[in-house]
Amino acid sequence: MSETQTAPLAVIVLAAGQGTRMRSRLPKVLHPLAGRPLVGHVLDTAAALSPVRIVVVVRHEREQVARAVADLLPDAVVVDQDDVPGTGRAVELGLDGLGDFAGDVLVLSGDVPLLEPVTLEALIATHRDRSASVTLLSAVLAEPAGYGRVLRDAAGDVERIVEQKDATDHEAAVDEINAGVYVFTTDALRRHLPEVGQANAQGEKYLTDVVGIARRAGERIAVGIAPDPAAALGVNDRVQLSEAARLLNARTVRRWQRAGVSILDPATTWIDVDATFEPDVTVLPNTQILGATTIAAGATIGPDTSLTDCEVGADAVVRRSDATLAVIGARANVGPFAYLRAGAILADDAKAGTFVEVKNSTIGEGSKVPHLSYIGDTTIGRGVNLGAGAITANYDDIAKHRTEIGDEVHSGSHNVFVAPVRIGAGAKTGAGAVIRKDVPAGALALSVAPQRNVEGWVENNRPGTAAADAAARARSAQETSDGTQRQDG
């Protein structure tokens, strides 16, 4: 077909249904799938086709859905469905939203999220090549239950579509289903939609009836059979939602594997559609890479790790950890069992080790917080080492305060930094210190009272106990070996 004959394209997305089978407060089309609402996938696919206009029909939880649509695709036109139920009514009102548009109208269902632009481009091409009134996408499914069936005549031409609930046993045995995606000429919709009634099992105005009506009017009905039937999956309940998630994830995993990412266990690795990787990243089992996370070359993530909206630098290692809105520098080391919260920034070569929680804090280049620590609202310079059990006490019950730790500070084990407080560059702190006052650069800060040993306390105060007996034995052995009285510590 020559280009001069190509009609302009508009898209109508159906998103007004209640989604009863989800049994959810959240409207069905807003249920998340791989980090995006169901309808977001459909809008993305629609936008990829560069239509002159995209109309989204809404009704159930109207405000919430309309707001989501505006966020996802500000150019989309939102149109309200009235109280006449059914996909046919939705398209009728969507068509009004197209004004005086004349051309081809692609209708997409907001709950059919896995179709790819190339499949739809092929469908549109079929529609134009065949000069059809209606072109529908069908799929042949081993388990067609729940879908509308495509009924063909003896010659193999499509006669009509029958919904599951209206089908005879004979019709229900047909395994070719209607994917809920069609191309219509505006002309066919304008002429036939007003003829569609509601005399069916659901009392709805079915869009699918347009097919039979157009056929009876002697118009051409074309069909594109989905090359990958699984991509035609409609999400009506949470079983289908998880199936869609599995299929989309498998597609995403394969795409990144082909782009040079080692993903050891696709079945237990979940990657959202907006996450990105450089080559030579390794992802170990039971790992979720979510949101807009980006991972640079050579990093190793997992096992048992969740990253949400994080930025991971080259050659970093993140093991058995959970991080959200964190920046992890090149060659940084995280985990096992670290918890990085919003605003955690690890500079290059930094470390947040085992049972370490970091929030709204920067750990400077090469600095280490290796064990059992809480670091909140803190700035740590370069080359710092915090001993095991470092706690920044950032909250005084009224407000959050900052801790500032200068370059090359080394703290003893089990320190509490009571914010607001500053530790000058190169300073050191003793074990168990509670740092309530600023420490000057290069100072040693001690806050624990000197130790006092009360000799013989156990034997005097707990005579006859196992501890007293053990102490007595140890003392006599010591006296024998030394031949002298033990010196007072």
Catalytic residue ranges? 371
* Binds 178: which of ligand UD1, Ca ion, none (CB < 5-8 Å by kind): ligand UD1
Q: State the number of CA atoms in the 13 A half-sphere of 435 facing the CB.
A: 32
The DSSP call for residue 59 is B
Q: Nearest-CB residue to ligand UD1?
A: 148
Q: Nearest-CB residue to Ca ion?
A: 234
The residue (of 167 and 433) whose beta carbon lies closer to Ca ion is: 167
Residue 119 lies near ligand UD1 (rule: CB under 6 A): no
Closest contact distance (angstroms) between CB of 239 and ligand UD1 is: 14
The residue (of 21 and 401) whose beta carbon lies closer to Ca ion is: 21
Place of tokens 């869009």: 207
Span interacting with ligand UD1, options 174-182, 302-310, 433-441, 447-455, rule CB under 6 A:
174-182
The residue (of 38 and 427) whose beta carbon lies closer to ligand UD1 is: 38
Measured between alpha carbons, how far is 352 from 263 in angstroms, rounded to an integer? 24
Closest contact distance (angstroms) between CB of 52 and Ca ion is: 27
Span interacting with ligand UD1, options 12-20, 311-319, 339-347, 376-384, rule CB under 6 A:
12-20
The residue (of 148 and 364) whose beta carbon lies closer to ligand UD1 is: 148
Span interacting with ligand UD1, options 72-80, 116-124, 178-186, 371-379, rule CB under 6 A:
178-186
Binding mask 219-258 vs ligand UD1 (x if CB under 6 A, - otherwise)?
A: ---------------x-x----------------------
Q: State the number of CA atoms in the 13 A half-sphere of 479 facing the CB.
A: 7
CA 287 to chain CA centroid, nearest Å? 12
Q: State the number of CA atoms in the 13 A half-sphere of 367 facing the CB.
A: 28
- How many C-beta atoms surround the C-beta of residue 239 within 10 A? 10
Measured between alpha carbons, how far is 431 from 451 in angstroms, rounded to an integer? 12
In one-letter notation, the amino acid at residue 483 is G
Q: Which of 17, 302, 329, 364 binds ligand UD1 (CB under 6 A)?
A: 17
Tokens of 197: 């009634």
The DSSP call for residue 22 is G
Q: Read out DSSP for 413-474?
A: SS-EEESSEEE-TT-EE-TT-EE-S-B-TT-EE--SPPP---TTHHHHHSTTSHHHHHHHHH
Cβ neighbours for 143, distance < 8 A, ≥ 6 positions apart: none
The site that binds ligand UD1 (CB under 6 A) totals a number of residues, namely 29
Residue 177 lies near ligand UD1 (rule: CB under 6 A): yes
The residue (of 111 and 204) whose beta carbon lies closer to Ca ion is: 111
Span interacting with Ca ion, options 105-113, 162-170, 271-279, 360-368, rule CB under 5 A:
105-113
Closest contact distance (angstroms) between CB of 143 and ligand UD1 is: 13
Angle between helices 117-129 and 38-48 (to 10 degrees): 50
Q: Which of 206, 277, 339, 417 binds ligand UD1 (CB under 6 A)?
A: 206
- How many C-beta atoms surround the C-beta of residue 200 within 10 A? 17
In one-letter notation, the amino acid at residue 108 is L
Burial 31-61 (b: 16+ CB within 10 A, else e): bebbbbbbbbbbbebbbeeebebbbbbbbbb
Q: Report the SS3 class of residue 8.
A: coil
Span interacting with ligand UD1, options 172-180, 267-275, 278-286, 292-300, rule CB under 6 A:
172-180
Binding mask 131-150 vs ligand UD1 (x if CB under 6 A, - otherwise)?
A: ----------------xx--
In one-letter notation, the amino acid at residue 15 is A
**What is the torsion angle, in degrees rounded to the nearest 10, for the CA atoms of residue 283, residue 287, residue 291 and residue 292?**
-20
Residue 33 lies near ligand UD1 (rule: CB under 6 A): no
Site for Ca ion in 106-145 (CB under 5 A): 111
Q: Which of 207, 226, 271, 405 binds ligand UD1 (CB under 6 A)?
A: 207
The residue (of 165 and 400) whose beta carbon lies closer to Ca ion is: 165
Q: For residues 341 and 360, is the Cβ–Cβ distance under 8 A?
A: yes
Closest contact distance (angstroms) between CB of 169 and ligand UD1 is: 18
Site for Ca ion in 225-284 (CB under 5 A): 234, 236
Span interacting with ligand UD1, options 13-21, 218-226, 334-342, 447-455, rule CB under 6 A:
13-21
Residue 57 lies near ligand UD1 (rule: CB under 6 A): yes
* Binds 90: which of Ca ion, ligand UD1, none (CB < 5-8 Å by kind): ligand UD1
* Binds 40: which of ligand UD1, Ca ion, none (CB < 5-8 Å by kind): none
Q: Could you tell me whether strands 149-152 and 158-162 are parallel, antiparallel, or unpaired per DSSP bridges?
A: antiparallel
Q: For residues 1 and 42, is the Cβ–Cβ distance under 8 A?
A: no
Q: Is residue 283 packed enough to be buried (19+ CB in 10 Å), middle (13-18) or exposed (0-12)?
A: buried
Binding mask 79-118 vs ligand UD1 (x if CB under 6 A, - otherwise)?
A: --x---xxx-xx------------------xxxx------
**What is the torsion angle, in degrees rounded to the nearest 10, for the CA atoms of residue 279, residue 284, residue 285 and residue 286?**
-90
In one-letter notation, the amino acid at residue 421 is V
For ligand UD1, the binding residues (CB under 6 A) are: 14-17, 29, 57, 81, 85-87, 89-90, 109-112, 147-148, 161, 163, 177-180, 206-208, 234, 236
Residues that bind Ca ion (CB under 5 A): 111, 234, 236
